[in-house]
Amino acid sequence: MSALDNHETLTGAVPRMAPARLRLPEAVTGILLILPAIALLLALTCYPVLYGVWISFFNKHSFFPQQTFVGLDNYLFLLRDPQFWSAVWLGCVYSVSAIVLQIVLGVGAAVLLNEIFPGRNILRAVVIFPYVVPTVIAVILWKWLLNSQFGLVNYLIEQAGLVDQPISFMGKDWIMASLILVSVWQFFPFVVIGVLARLQTVPGELYEAAHVDGANAFQRFIHVTLPQLKSVLFVIVLLRSIWMFTKFDTPWLMIQGGGAETYIRTLPVYTYMRTFAYYEAGLGSAMAVVMFLALAVATACYFRIWQREENL
């Protein structure tokens, strides 16, 4: 029997113990300790989500208490609402394009910044800059740059002789491209950070071995770098997909004070409109639920495909 078994501490003090009958089993103590965290989680996360699902079954004004139970009517309305399907389509075009470009640009920039060259550290700091700029500033900045009357971009491409007339980047034909451009610019640094961190842990021996085997730079990228990036890209693609598909602020800000709104009315924007312009909180909630379910299904499929790939 050790000295500590007699409830003596190393310093020799004897701690006060609760009488045996008041002592709670360890499991109960554990549960009691995590109870506040669970309560907080339920109150702040589960309650709003469940309330959102609940009101999706009502015809409810967004700000006033009047509400009528309508069952699945809101969901049935969405099925036959062309605006909803148009918003789904525009949301997919926006998020898929933005994600692909962010990944391509992000990986490219990370590979470059992993090399040793003068000014690398400064460039690493600069490349993070768009990600730390608040979205509202980023959008205003780009709207100035892309302005058809005095924007720098139009000036440069006109000077370069690429166009005869200034391009209306906020007009029908270009607003989606402009939105994707702004989003790629703002969020590709996220990919850079993740990929660069992973690249720095790839053992140099792998590249040396590939080099000895006669692999050129492109082959080393395909056969060494990419497989090493697989797991980090898995997480990045997942997170960026969720964030881009639910992105509200960037498209919304793009159409404030002018901008061909109809052509970038993505699902989050349409959900906002239904809730705060039509004041239809029930329908807005139904759209949010659909968005949530779509993302949940897509995430599940993504995990499944990933697991299968890993098994292979």
Q: Could you say whether residue 135 binds another protein (CB under 8 A)?
A: no
Q: How far is the CB of 236 from another protein (least distance, A)?
A: 32
Q: Could you say whether residue 168 binds another protein (CB under 8 A)?
A: yes
Q: Label each residue of the chain as H, E or C.
A: CCHHHHCCCCCCCCCCCCCHHHCCCHHHHHHHHHHHHHHHHHHHHHHHHHHHHHHCCEEEECCCCCEEECCCHHHHHHHCCHHHHHHHHHHHHHHHHHHHHHHHHHHHHHHHHHCCCCCHHHHHHHHHHHHHCCHHHHHHHHHHHCCCCCCHHHHHHHHCCCCCCCCCCCCCCCHHHHHHHHHHHHHHHHHHHHHHHHHCCCCHHHHHHHHHCCCCHHHHHHHHHHHHHHHHHHHHHHHHHHHHHCCCHHHHHHCCCCCCHHHHCCHHHHHHHHHHCCCEHHHHHHHHHHHHHHHHHHHHHHHHHHHHHHHC
Binding mask 64-83 for another protein (x = CB under 8 A): x------------------x
Q: How far is the CB of 287 from another protein (least distance, A)?
A: 14
Q: How far is the CB of 286 from another protein (least distance, A)?
A: 13
Decide: residue 238, CB within 10 A, 0-12 exposed, 13-18 middle, 19+ buried.
middle
What is the separation of C-alpha 306 from the centre of its chain, rounded to a whole number of angstroms?
A: 19
Q: Which of 54, 85, 129, 150 binds another protein (CB under 8 A)?
A: 150
Residue with token string 């006669």:
214
- CB-nearer residue toward another protein: 231 or 256: 256
Stretch that binds another protein, among 50-58, 250-258, 288-296, 304-312 (CB under 8 A): 250-258
Residues 205-234 within binding reach of another protein (CB under 8 A): none
Q: Could you say whether residue 137 binds another protein (CB under 8 A)?
A: no
Q: Which of 176, 192, 255, 291 binds another protein (CB under 8 A)?
A: 255
Q: How far is the CB of 172 from another protein (least distance, A)?
A: 5
Q: Could you say whether residue 260 binds another protein (CB under 8 A)?
A: yes
Residues 175-204 within binding reach of another protein (CB under 8 A): 175
Q: Which of 216, 219, 262, 307 binds another protein (CB under 8 A)?
A: 262
Q: Could you say whether residue 278 binds another protein (CB under 8 A)?
A: yes
The whole-angstrom separation of Cα 30 and Cα 251 is 46
- CB-nearer residue toward another protein: 102 or 266: 266
Q: Which of 5, 26, 164, 205 binds another protein (CB under 8 A)?
A: 164
Q: Which of 97, 147, 225, 285 binds another protein (CB under 8 A)?
A: 147
Q: Which of 145, 273, 286, 291 binds another protein (CB under 8 A)?
A: 273
Using CB under 8 A, list all residues that contact another protein: 59, 62-64, 83, 147-150, 164-165, 167-175, 255-262, 273, 276-280
